[in-house]
Amino acid sequence: MAKSSRAPSRRRVVKLLLALPFVRFLDAYLARFIGLGSDTAIAAAPLRVAKVSELTQPWSSVSFPYRLKVRSKDVYKKETVTEETIPGLVIRLPDDVAEKRGGGVKGKFYVVDLHCTHQRCVTTYLQDKNEIRAVADIDAKNPMAYCPCHRSVFDLGQGGKVVKGPAKQPLWKFEFDIKKDEIVVTGVDPKASQWDPGRPGELFGEYPVREGEPGL
Ligand code: FES
């Protein structure tokens, strides 16, 4: 049977919904859930972030900001380009950890996006075992990344694996090359751009934010 020409199109229904103030508030999330909006990272130029020769000690590190342009399309297919800064960290791994990852000069370095994979707060690089025990209640063998928002903990000796949730995915990492003495970031983790704000329960504060710490 032919469709009635009076039946509202999906786009029209979406436009009507977006006229409601509460639904407008959820615009970004709604766009993802119904699949009409999208975000695409625009490739940034390779960035020198550290020298091999300055990172000789196990777990020594250099932090860097990585500026990336993100092209977004909203539910009306309108395109905007915004700049995002990703907090990056290059870590020199101990030899035994590097060997497990395949060895070589490149295997000695781990270049990580410090955004928490739960709701993208910025994690803190903790090296001191007593500090890790005090803040995260974990007896750690090596440094960890700790998220102050909902206390997720990521093991930096195991590729950013989640040790404590609510985060479920390991930390994202940068793509990089070693050029002579330079560590050069060449791109972001594709999984980072597929990040989803999560289930509605997470949006509405299922996990309490600690007092005095960054909110959602
Ligand atoms: S944002 Fe990191 S644990 Fe929630």
Pick from 135, 152, 169 the residue to mutate for probing ligand 1's pocket: most ligand atoms within 8 Å of its CB: 152
Mean pLDDT of the chain: 78
The protein residue whose alpha carbon is closest to atom 3 in ligand 1 is: 150
Out of 91-105, 173-187, 191-205, least confident range? 191-205
Domains annotated on the chain, with CATH: 37-197 (2.102.10.10)
**Is 170 a residue whose pLDDT tops 80?**
yes
pTM: 0.72
Which atom of ligand 1 is least distant from the CA of 150?
3
Q: What are the two backbone dihedrals, phi and then psi, of residue 42, each rounded to the nearest 5 degrees?
A: -95, 130
End-to-end CA distance of the chain: 48
Which atom of ligand 1 is least distant from the CA of 152?
3
Residues 35/29, Cβ–Cβ less than 8 Å: no
Out of 32-36, 59-63, 118-122, 124-128, least confident range? 32-36
**Measured in angstroms, how far is the CA atom of residue 167 from the centroid of ligand 1?**
6
The protein residue whose alpha carbon is closest to atom 1 in ligand 1 is: 119
**Measured in angstroms, how far is the CA atom of residue 3 from the centroid of ligand 1?**
46
